[in-house]
Structure 1
Amino acid sequence: MTKKLFGTDGVRGTANTYPMTAENALRIGAAAGRYFRRDGSNGHRVVIGKDTRLSGYMIENALTAGLTSTGMNVLLLGPLPTPAVGFLTRSMRADLGIMISASHNGHQDNGIKFFGPDGFKLSDDAEAEIEAIIAGDIALAQPANIGRAKRIEDARGRYVEYAKTTLPKGKLFSGMKVVVDCANGAAYSVAPQVLWELGAEVVEIGVHPDGKNINLDCGSTHPRVCAAKVLETGADLGITLDGDADRLILIDERGQIADGDQIMALFADRWAQEQRLLDGVLVATVMSNLGLERFLEGRGLRLERTSVGDRYVVERMRQGGWNLGGEQSGHIVMTDYATTGDGLIAALQFMAFLAESGKPASLLTRSFEPVPQLLRNLRYGPGVDLLAEAKVVAAIDAGRDRLAGQGRLLIRKSGTEPLVRVMAECEDEGLMVQVVGDIITEMESVA
């Protein structure tokens, strides 16, 4: 069944524009409720979390109306990280979890992500079935079976306590100064609280959301802000999260930025030494740097690549029975602790390594020398299929021929925005820049 509404991570778009209208959110909620309440019995429940976007109120209320109309009982969690919703879906024995967020996008966008009762994101097949229900006549509950809704006041506290349990008992960060940038997003309250309760001196950035400043010149998409604060305050480490806190970028004490590849390299190496890395496998996407793959091979470990998207990383991890994966963009998936990428818990694991080693962060955040990599994005208009244009296809083929044996070229459409992403890796930076530039030029002529 072909999906039209769902992308690589749920439903996403500009708020108050299809598909992110209140009317459509109500219908999505009703369809999801019908899908998870097929037996018609009462007692089914769904937890709903959100980030700090202004449109979150509208989407939350619309989803609640749709879900209760089909007999689902709704538990409202308020602003919480995406991984917290996955955790609470399972721990509260909910049939469904929903996160309202557009992740690293600006406040004008919003999205709806779904988790199954096991806390993992729904499969493509499940999303396709929900989409089919949306397209048909949705059977509503009888008046006596309409669901109820209530707010869970201790949701944040539950996640805070769980996050702390992922560290060895007695592990504290006394004497460590940490800058944390919460992107004015979902972790604005819980991340500083967890770090402080574990003994760290915390310098906060991006903890004053106003509904419109999420990801605005802060967070993991603007790590230089955190880097500057690390240098200004003499901090030992900088932690930058995105709007829904399922990814992170780290900053060492020198203000240098470490992406997801470097974090995964450290974790894989350490876990392998501790005999915790199952089968010696790290799962990452086609975007991860060739330097990461070479680093792992040099230690007798293996990189398993997937399509772009943390959900595909998690699916492959579950298929193979592996426990560590992620993305270069900062999703770090540790299924020993969480069902999806968790920026805060990944930061805690890094801090534990940092405290144990007694070394500065700069010696832990540079496990390998990256192969030069260039990524350029090109936005296209409605009805345009850039990758079907003959001149674009010819430019891509020519680029691959020029990089053959020296590097690699990856062209893909974004699953969440009208963008084509062009990425190349090559030891010869001049050749890499030229190849990407030639392809972008042809795309711009037809975009």
Structure 2
Amino acid sequence: MNMTEAATVERSTIRKISWRLVPFVGLMFFINFLDRTAISFAGPNGMSKDLGLTAAQFGLAAGVFFIGYIVLEIPSNLALHKFGARRWLARIMVTWGVVALLFTWVSSVNGLYTLRFLLGVAEAGFFPGAILFLSMWVPAKHRSHILALFYLAQPLTIVIGAPVAALLIGANGLFGLAGWRIMFFGVAIPAILVGVIAWFYLTDKPSQAKWLTAAEREWLIAKLEAEEKEKGSRSAAHHGNPLAALANGRVWMFSLMYFGLIYGLYALAFFLPTIIGGFETRFGTHFNVFQKGLITAIPYLPAAIALFLWSRDATKRGVRSWHISVPALIGALSVPLALQMGSPTASIAVITVTACAIFCALPNFWALPGRFLSGAAAAAGIALINTVGNLAGFVAPYITGIAKDMSGSYQLPMLIVGAMMLMSAVLALAIGRTSTQTSLEPVKAH
């Protein structure tokens, strides 16, 4: 195969993967993020009042999800590596859908804590499993672009999910249920259905892809094997030994960097609807449930556009540390300013800047770890990074709730968010200075 033919096969292969796998895995991620953040819509729309939740209790309920999630994260990702993504991701999705359905009938604070914990257990391994799955299908040269397309599902979850959740909440009284209970029911059913479809739709590895031509399969397999050999030729810490990956200092730097980004993401995701609900007290405004849903969605549409454009630049240049440090710094500076604004419009404008910053950093972050980890080490390393990062999923809403109860406002919690994102910016700069060229520079096509 000459260079022209190889380039044609490369383009057609990546295009087919982009259309065949990314939208479906992105849909799974869409449902995943909607189910785990559904509590943020339920809280200010009747659940907190019906269950008698304080801000700290709401934060604990939001965050306890991540305890079960973290405990089983690495074992789940290693199981995916062993049993295959098709079976494991489908199993995860159906399991969390069943647990999510039970929120419809939760009747106490302790029951809410229990179900949130079990939801985390059920979802454990999905996100790093999806990242690992896509990484196993895409050569490093195209990984940033593919992961950016996948990550679009996260901001679009709020853009689409917030108004949908508001409509479901607006069906208050249907079947004798409160609106927030109907919302939980409505967002759980798609997880079960799509999980069943995933069992039949996904393909575990390129050699099994009947939807690729023989030439496309051969090119993709050869390219991925060449990259695995290149990674395997580096230091022992980068080999397929999961214990070596867990002891690697750079993996822990990535973990702390991700912690700061996730702290910002979930502080925003879980409390933005509540902050918007507080506009009535601060500014004397009044919005109905659907209007609040639309306002919640506003920051995430520009965030999706910014994510796509920023990641396209990263794909062209090759992901650099500043593709993470610059947006993290912008987020660190902007988030504390949001509650200093004098109107709802100005507050949402600043929150939009923060959302854009977070979502510009995240997909480019995930383009880096897979460049120096392979095999079981990739499964363990990516899971460790996601595990440590998702400690912020527990810490952020809980600390935000406690700080709000103590101070009486969200200004102190947002200062803490800014500090965490500043940590991520500093770590991104540090890893850019200390990493070798082969770790952070894009893999060039030969």
**Shorter-chain TM-score: which interval?**
under 0.3
Between structures 1 and 2, the one with greater helix share: 2
Give me the TM-score of the superposition, normalised by structure 2.
Answer: 0.28
Higher relative contact order (CA 8 A, sep 6+): 2
Give me the TM-score of the superposition, normalised by structure 1.
Answer: 0.28
Between structures 1 and 2, the one with greater strand share: 1
